[in-house]
Structure 1
Amino acid sequence: MENNNETQSRGKYLFAAFLAPFIWGFMSISVRWIRDYPAEDILYFRIVTALLVLWLYILLFRRKSLLLDFHKFQSLSRKGKIRQTGLIVLAALLIFGNWFTYIYAVNHISIQSAALAYLTCPLITAAAAYFMLKEQLTSWQKIALLIAFGSVCILANGSLIDVLWAITIAVCYAFYLIIQRISTGFDKLNQLVIQLSICALFVIPKLFYNHHDIPTTPIFWSTIVLIASLFTIIPLFLSMYALIKISSTTTGVLLYINPLIAFTLAATYFQEPVSPIKYVAYSIILVAIVIFNINAIKQTFFKPAGR
């Protein structure tokens, strides 16, 4: 009975890890709505809007949790405070870099370059988690990663520019996940609002000295609010929440859902030209996801009767 409860509890975190990249997969649609605006403007207003929404929510409904984390931080040793502060600042810098490079790639490189980034990201995350966090991999998981690596090599056999942008985007988010796994003991939503606040320290001065006019069109601001809430706060919190119980490697591999959706949108909704080999490569990646999570799938959906 205890194992059954543990499986159900872990299933909740696994679902959160799945839902985050699933939501992100559709983000390119909203980003394309405002492609005529500079990438940095989209990023700056995304961060500021997300920060305002999140602070409003926390101050209205989660003040007790914020105060508890504040006292917890105060009780840390000097070394502990420096460590936690360093992790938060580094996480903020990495997510800031990830967002900017992703938006620029979607609007000025190609949707497929952004999709390739989130194909590369799980491999970098798995390697970093294995060497830095000593996360163990089963034989099936190692096979799945090798299959995924082969597929990524097929997809990377194209534009060098696409590949370089993809690696930059991927490295930023992979190490962001690693840091979230290391940074424990504090409420994930409170950590997120602090990270966004640090990002805002870089953004707000830029807004004052921005050479572009502040957008006034309703489509821009409605899209920014959508990106800030649905495609920023919710999936980031879900991924951070998942890392409470799910390994960085598993969370990283589930990121493959993002490019699978992005690839489908690129080929159908955006009508980008896609070579037949890419359909094969993405199909192989889908198989790799199933193989990697085969044990979790068995435990969640094929539990023995009476347990």
Structure 2
Amino acid sequence: MKEGRIKYFVAAFSAVIVWGFFSIPLRMLRDYPADQILYYRIFTSLILTWLYILLFRKKQVKSDIKYVQEQDKFSRKKILWLNLLAGLLITGNWFTFIYAVNNVNLKSAAFAYMVCPLITAMGGFFILKEKLTSTKLLALGLASISILVLAQGSLIDVLWSILIAALYSFYLIIQRVIHSIDRFNMLGLHLFIASVLMIPFFIYEFQSFPTGLSFWLTILVISIFFTIIPLFLSLYALIGMPSSTLGIIIYINPIVAFAVAFFYFHEGISVSQLYSYSLLLLAVIVFNWVTLKEMIIKLPSRNKPVTSS
């Protein structure tokens, strides 16, 4: 891997590790309806993102507008419709995930991010024509075995997981197609689209604003640390890596989420679950073995002391 590409790899890992801890603040809001959490998460994220864009990223906004204006009519329509679809997909993903954590169970939400990499990798292969080496196919095989073992439980849980996963997988695939627009500005656009989609439902269901300070502090934490930062990191990572690679790195998410469920929420663990998650971790290592090996080789050379001749 070229040295410049390592930053995209680190960004992808950072994003999925952070998302693995998302259930902690989300469980603090389990007394609130999933749609209400979603509304305030999106609106708060929108305000914070566009405040930052208007203060510090006006130059990038002008550059993106100029780029779109320079495209032909077909390309402009393509950019518009893909961004609208991306906003719809990420909104659906957020709602189904929040609902699953607070109304189904945490494991079904975590299981979604086990299915997601397979859908993303296969989508990247068939739709974007991304290459899959024999080693990567082996990793996908290991992951598939792990998923089959864990899928022996409730069919409803599995269906929820597939829905959550599919929404995010196709969101990632779209980001690989829209590659010439600034990633942070794109995030702001998707949050704007999500807000427009949610406003009619928000107005229809509105009764009163939550008054608890803990609610707003938790929403603020979710907006900054579990929405804006990791979503930007994942979009940034797609600049320098295939969607299939980011998809397989997402397997770190359910591993962290499972650890949180076991160590923090004290949910039970079975031998088959332990085996399956260990197999998942092995799949991540195998899929990214070339990248990891090159990073390990580079680290000692960077840390060598400079000696004078």
Q: TM-score, normalised by structure 1?
A: 0.96
Letter in 2 for 1:152: I
* Structure 2 unmatched ranges of 5 or more: 303-309
Alignment partner, residue 105 of structure 1: 100
Alignment partner, residue 180 of structure 1: 175
- Displacement of 1:137: 1.2
- Displacement of 1:207: 2.2
Task: Summarize deviations over 1:103-148 as a string: whole Å, max 9, x none.
Answer: 0000011110001000000000011101111111111111011000
Q: Secondary structure at the match of 1:302?
A: helix
CA distance in 2, matches of 1:241, 1:303: 22
Contact preservation (8 Å) 1:17, 1:238: yes
Structure 1 counterpart of 2:68, from 67, 73, 84: 73
CA distance in 1, matches of 2:98, 2:235: 21
Alignment partner, residue 62 of structure 1: 57
Within the alignment, does 1:215 sit opposite 2:246 as a pair?
Answer: no
Structure 2 counterpart of 1:291, from 276, 279, 286: 286
Within the alignment, does 1:191 sit opposite 2:194 as a pair?
Answer: no
Bigger shift: residues 197-206 or 25-34: 197-206
CA distance in 2, matches of 1:72, 1:114: 38
- Displacement of 1:29: 0.2
| Mapping of residues 1-307 of structure 1, within 5 Å | 7-303=2-298
Task: Summarize deviations over 1:10-43 as a string: whole Å, max 9, x none.
Answer: 1111000111101100010000001000000000
Alignment partner, residue 3 of structure 1: none
Q: After the TM superposition, which parts of structure 1 deviate over 3 Å for at least 4 consecutive aligned residues?
A: 303-307
- Displacement of 1:274: 2.3
* Structure 1 unmatched ranges of 5 or more: 1-5
1:110/1:68 Cα in 2 relative to 1: closer, same or farther (>3 Å)? same
What count of residue pairs does the alignment treat as equivalent? 302
Letter in 2 for 1:114: A
Task: Summarize deviations over 1:142-173 as a string: whole Å, max 9, x none.
Answer: 10110000000101110111100000000000
Aligned sequence identity (%): 48
Letter in 1 for 2:281: L
Bigger shift: residues 28-37 or 200-209: 200-209
| Alignment RMSD | 1.4
Contact preservation (8 Å) 1:14, 1:246: yes
